[in-house]
Structure 1
């Protein structure tokens, strides 16, 4: 599908305008959330708190660790004839992507 010139009704424009406003608020809240989570992590580390729970929330501190990952790009380069045998194709639902400028 290519890009198409859209002719929008006033109702369509209202939806887009509201979505733009909500997205801006969401991004601000998300940034605030990350700052608060970082501050909470520092508090939990300072007081050696591993878990906090009440009727409304459960917070668990998870120590840093290492993880193994599979480098599929390198595998594909090193074994181009074998790689296709291990590729799994998964359907992806259509969606709308947008970002604020």
Structure 2
């Protein structure tokens, strides 16, 4: 995937799949469709950021499944936060195995 690049954020596919607003909106619509929900407009930076993280994980690691989380590289998080800023960040959280109980 990296080929001749020193960082994954320099790979053309990263920008296309994780930073393009139109691509992220299609990903949001797809997820909402599966969950039988509607996408509220306008879409805020927080939802774009979350979707970008999901897109990156799906693209780089494939589908992980519920509660199977892995940290995203810091360079990716930094880049996505730059494009879709927010005054508040809480960072990576491991899945709580007791969420459904």
Say yes or no: TM over 0.5: no
**Does 1 or 2 have the higher relative contact order (CA < 8 Å, sep 6+)?**
2
Please give the range of the TM-score, normalised by the shorter of the 2 chains. Answer: under 0.3
Higher strand share: 1
Q: Is the radius of gyration larger for structure 1 or structure 2?
A: 1
